[in-house]
């Protein structure tokens, strides 16, 4: 059995495909139940989009969400909170684009990590800033204005952003450092665009 799994993982890495989802571990099911999470299929606009990993002051743009998922070392699954799914289903399309939260569950034999993303693939940067104003009111412009300018330039340069990694949660414990630090540090995920310098990386 171990030999089979090893060959399967190796084949997935060679072919560039995701590791097939296996039955969720007991710990994963426990966390799903505690947070009222259900499996969910994200839209391709989200999966094919680039993402940032800091809401207020992102320094980098990372590649496609789908590529990040493929790089995970263990079985993965997309999840959504039951109430968030209900809210999403009840949204009036005439009210304009909104945002919603998705969980990428990484299940390494009971060691579970949730990468908590926000799908903003339906909004451009101007609409993204308007959405910030709903929560941050008058503080939105000064707090997010610089980020908007950097993201606008990135879009003009061919690097639009459709998602944001908001949190990283390991077995129910929220990591205190910024997700951007986790990506560039221990996970060694290479960004594709430097927002601060306004230029592409590694091309």
Q: Is 28 left (phi over 0), alpha (psi -120 to 50) or beta?
A: alpha
- Model confidence, pTM: 0.80
Contacts of 170 (CB under 8 A, 6+ apart): 111, 112, 113, 114
CA–CA gap between residue 105 and residue 72 (Å, rounded): 10
Query: Which tokens hold the place of 16?
Result: 């560039």
Provide the pLDDT for residue 193.
97
pLDDT digits (tens, 9 = 90+) for 4-50: 334 443 444 343 344 445 678 999 999 999 999 999 999 999 999 99
CA–CA gap between residue 123 and residue 111 (Å, rounded): 34
Please list the pLDDT of the chain residue by residue as tens digits (203 residues).
433 334 443 444 343 344 445 678 999 999 999 999 999 999 999 999 999 999 888 999 999 999 999 999 999 999 999 999 998 888 765 455 578 899 999 999 889 999 999 998 876 565 555 655 555 545 545 555 577 888 889 999 999 999 999 999 998 999 999 999 999 999 999 999 999 999 999 75
Provide the pLDDT for residue 141.
54
Domain range summary for the chain, segments of one domain joined by +: 21-200
Provide the pLDDT for residue 143.
55
Q: Are 111 and 171 in contact (CB under 8 A)?
A: yes
Q: Are 97 and 52 in contact (CB under 8 A)?
A: no
Provide the pLDDT for residue 6.
42
Query: Which burial class, exposed, middle or buried, applies to 27 when counting CB atoms under 10 A from its CB (0-12, 13-18, 19+)?
Result: middle
For the chain, the residue count is 203
């Amino acid at each position: 059995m171990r030999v089979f799994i090893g060959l399967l993982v190796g084949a997935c890495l060679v072919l560039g495909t995701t590791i097939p989802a296996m039955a969720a571990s007991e710990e994963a099911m426990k966390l799903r139940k505690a947070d009222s999470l259900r499996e969910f299929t994200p839209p391709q606009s989200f999966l094919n989009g680039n993402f940032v990993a800091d809401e207020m002051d992102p320094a980098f743009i990372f590649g496609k969400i789908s590529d990040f998922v493929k790089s995970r070392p263990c079985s993965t699954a997309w999840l959504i909170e039951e109430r968030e799914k209900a809210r999403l289903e009840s949204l009036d399309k005439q009210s304009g684009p909104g945002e919603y939260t998705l969980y990428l569950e990484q299940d390494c034999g009971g060691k579970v990590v949730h990468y908590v993303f926000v799908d903003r693939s339906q909004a451009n940067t101007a609409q993204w800033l308007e959405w910030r104003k709903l929560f941050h009111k008058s503080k939105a412009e000064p707090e997010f204005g610089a980020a908007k300018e950097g993201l606008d330039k990135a879009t003009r340069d061919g690097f639009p952003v459709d998602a944001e990694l908001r949190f990283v949660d390991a077995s129910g414990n929220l990591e205190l450092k910024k997700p951007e630090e986790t990506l560039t540090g221990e996970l060694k995920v290479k960004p594709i665009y430097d927002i601060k310098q306004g230029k592409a990386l590694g091309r």
